[in-house]
Amino acid sequence: MIVKPTVFVLGAGASQPYGFPSGAKLVDRVCRELIGYEGEKITRAAGGEKLGARLRGLGHQVDEIVWFATELGMARRYSIDRFLEMRREFLNVGKAAIADVLLDAEHDYRYVDPVEHDPARPEPLSATDRDWYRYLFDQLIRKDPNYFEQQARLLSIVTFNFDRSFEHSLESALATNYGKSGSELESLVRRLKIVHVHGSLGRTDFGGTDDRLGDLRQAGAEIKIIHEEANTEEAKALLCEARQICFLGFGYDDENLQKLDVRESLKGKREVHGTFFGKQNAEIQAALRLFPERRITPFPGDALAFLRTVSVILD
C-alpha cells in the first residue's frame, strides 16, 4: 500500500461553504418542507409539495411521511442520522429525505456561498474567507499534471459526507487547468484517494439525473446511517499509514470516531489536528477526551484558516 503522509478527515462543516446544510439545518429543512414544523407547532400536514411528492413516488404513504417529520421535529436532534438510529422504522423514508435535500444542494451547488455574517467577527465572511477547496487545489495544481500526480500521492481524503462536492470541484479544477477530459481526466482524478465512509449519493451524475426517483432509490441503497455497516477498513488503513491527520469540519461524534478506531489508528502519530470552529470550551474538552491521550491539537478556525495556518505535509 502506498503511504499517504497526510489524511484529511471531513465532516459536514467541510461542505457547508458550498451550500450544503449542517446536520441541524438538514433536520429543519426536512421538517419545514414536509409539515411546516416551527418550534413545537405544526402549521401544515400535507406531506409536502415537492419533497413529499417524491417520497410518495417512492411508495411512502402520507401518514408515514407526516408521522416521520412530526417525530423528527419533536425529537430536537441535531442530525437525522441520530434520530434514525433511535427510530429505525423510519430508516427508508429518512434516508430518502436526506438524499433528496442533498441532491438539490448538489444541483444548486455554488463554488462559494454568498457573503455570510459570523457574529464572532466584526466584518462579514467573504467568499475568499470560506473557500478551502480553492486554497487546497491551488497548492495541488500549481504546476503541470505530473506535479499534481506527485502531490496527490501525499494526500488522501476520508469523508463522512454523502455529497460529492469535493470530487466534483477537484474534477472541474483539473479539467479547466489542464484542458483534460475523458479517460485522461478520470485518471488524474483517481490519483487522489477519496473514501466515503458512509457511502455517497450514488453513481449518478453530480446533482442527479432527470430521473429523480431513480436517483433517490440508488442513493438510498448507497448511503449508510451511523448504525449501519460502513466502509471503515479502508479508512482505518489510511489513518494507520498516515504521518499527519487533519479533521476538517468534523463534529467529533463518538461513534464515528469509534468506526475509525482512533485509539488504535492514531497510535504513534506525530501530528493530529482538528478544526473546532464555533465550538465552546466544554464541547472541545468533551471531544478531546475521545482521543487517546488527548492526542489532537485543536484549531479554533474553519478549514481555510487551518490550511493557511498549519503546515500540511504535501511537497
- What's the confidence (pLDDT) of residue 203? 76
Q: What is the CA radius of gyration of the chain?
A: 20
Residue from 288, 290, 295, 294 nearest 272 by CA: 295
Secondary-structure class of domain 6-19+115-309 per CATH: alpha beta
Mean pLDDT per 10-residue run, the chain (315 residues)? Answer: 78 93 93 70 52 92 91 94 93 95 88 51 52 94 93 94 94 94 92 94 81 90 80 90 93 90 81 93 93 88 94 74
- What's the confidence (pLDDT) of residue 111? 67
Residue from 228, 35, 230, 199 nearest 102 by CA: 199
Cα–Cα distance between 95 and 81 in angstroms, integer?
A: 8
Domain boundaries along the sequence of the chain: 6-19+115-309, 23-107
Q: Nearest 5°: phi and psi at 250?
A: -90, 145
- What's the confidence (pLDDT) of residue 225? 83
Cα–Cα distance between 125 and 123 in angstroms, integer?
A: 7
Q: Is 144 left (phi over 0), alpha (psi -120 to 50) or beta?
A: beta
Cα–Cα distance between 299 and 281 in angstroms, integer?
A: 12
**Length of the chain, in residues:** 315
